A and B are shown apart, each in its own frame.
Chain A
Amino acid sequence: MKKDAAQQPKLDLSPPHQEGKRSGSVYGATFILMMGVWVLLSGKFDPFHLALGVLSSALVSYFSADLLFSEPLTGKTIRTAFGFLRYLPWLLYQILLSALHVLYLSFHPRMMELIDPQVLRFRSRLKSDLAQVTFANSITLTPGTITIYVNFHRDFSVHAIDRFSGEDLPGEMERRIARAFGEE
């Protein structure tokens, strides 16, 4: 029996969830990022391997650019990226400080008297999803506090190991993230 080519389901290669047109900047940024990772991981700079990298980066950015950047890149995106880079050193410093605190607790002979676990609840004023995710993950990264849940109304529930770990929240960390994401 001869199959009719027109009746076969057509292989749809276009990316899913494609509403409207995506700007070239999204593809470009994804491509540059993918190419950077390729060069870093392959470590070979001859034309053959670079060509392979260009090919696969182009394919990946064609298929999944909307996973990395859901909106077209604008000046605000770039400002946010730089703001985030400025925020990182402070975050690392905070992680170090509070890691030392938890380290002290876990080696302390009378640890059970020092800790006082509690669940803190507060409402954040950060608007964008990305800022809230950054805030939630920053809270979890700083030892002594874990984000339990963030709901639709931006209510954060945070588990803190003792009063000292949780007393700064939301406070300075939220202010700095708001500044980094241009939400001042």
Chain B
Amino acid sequence: MVIDLIVAFCLVVGLIFFAGGTLGLLRFPDFYSRLHPAGKLDTMGSFLVLLGLAIHQLFPLTLGTVLTGLKLMLIVVFVFLASPTATHAIVDAGFRAGLEPWRKGDPRR
């Protein structure tokens, strides 16, 4: 019962992070600032959702469920490695192409 509450909490908070990421992607003013919510709130959201799923399938505790939980956590590890690298690559490409970052007071792009 307590486990279910923890799982529900993880899933719901994870979904809020995903929603925030999507909303930020739509609302932020320019290319660079949009990457902030897109690249990282999604990372946080997938961490929480996968953590919730890992806890949910962990009971009853057997070797199989532990292995499945560890596999889910392995996905998180790879997301945490790949997401900042990809974000950095996109931002770097933007700066190399000469796109100026949005400053306070500029019109929205």
Binding site for B on A (CB under 8 A): 40-41, 43, 95-96, 99, 102-103, 105-107, 111-112, 115-119, 136-137, 140-144, 146-149, 157, 159, 161
A106 touches B41 (CB 8 A): yes
Nearest opposing residue in chain B for A42, CB measure: B67
Contact residues in B for A40 (Cβ distance below 8 Å): 67, 70-71, 74
Q: Of A136, A148, A161, which one neighbours B36 at CB under 8 angstroms?
A: A161
- Determine the residue in chain B with the shortest Cβ distance to A112: B29
- Residues of chain B in range 45-78 having any CB-CB distance to chain A below 8 Å: 63-64, 67, 70-71, 74
B33:A161 contact, CB within 8 angstroms: yes
- When C-beta atoms are compared, the residue in chain A nearest to B22 turns out to be A106
Q: Is the interface of B mostly helix, strand, loop or mixed?
A: helix
Which of chain A's residues have a CB closer than 8 A to the CB of B23?
Answer: 106-107
A118–B97 alpha-carbon span in the complex (Å): 18
Cross-chain contact A149 with B39 (CB below 8 angstroms): no
Expressed in whole angstroms, the minimum distance between the Cβ of A118 and any Cβ of chain B is 8
Judge whether A102 and B41 touch: CB under 8 Å.
yes
Q: Which residues of A contact B41 (CB under 8 A)?
A: 99, 102-103, 106, 143
Pairs of residues from A and B, 7 with the lowest C-beta to C-beta distance, nearest first: A106-B24, A140-B84, A143-B40, A103-B20, A99-B44, A43-B67, A137-B84
Cα separation A11 to B20 with both chains bound (whole Å): 54
Interface size class of B (residues with CB under 8 A): 35 or more
> With A40-B67, A117-B102 in contact, is A159–B91 under 8 Å at CB?
yes
- Residues A148 and B33 in contact, CB atoms below 8 Å apart: no
Residues of B within 8 A of A (CB): 16-17, 20-21, 23-24, 27-30, 32-33, 35-37, 39-41, 43-44, 63-64, 67, 70-71, 74, 80-81, 83-85, 87-88, 91-92, 95, 101-104, 108
Min CB gap A11→B, angstroms: 33
A95 nearest in chain B by CB position: B44
Q: Is the CB of A106 within 8 A of B20?
A: yes
Per the bound structure, the CA–CA distance linking A114 and B11 in Å amounts to 29
Which of B29, B92, B108 touches A149 (beta carbons < 8 Å)? B92
Q: Tell me if B32 and A102 are in contact (CB < 8 A).
A: no
Inter-subunit contact A148/B17 (CB<8 Å)? no
Give complex CA distance A161, B28 in Å: 10
Do the beta carbons of B88 and A159 come within 8 Å of each other?
A: no
- Contact B40–A141 (Cβ < 8 Å): yes
Can you list 14 residue pairs at the A/B interface with Cβ under 8 Å? A40-B70, A96-B44, A99-B40, A99-B44, A102-B24, A106-B41, A107-B20, A107-B23, A112-B108, A117-B29, A117-B101, A141-B40, A141-B83, A146-B32
Please, how many angstroms separate the alpha-carbon atoms of A118 and B87 in the complex?
17
- Which of A95, A102, A118, A161 neighbours the largest number of chain B CB atoms within 10 Å of its CB? A102
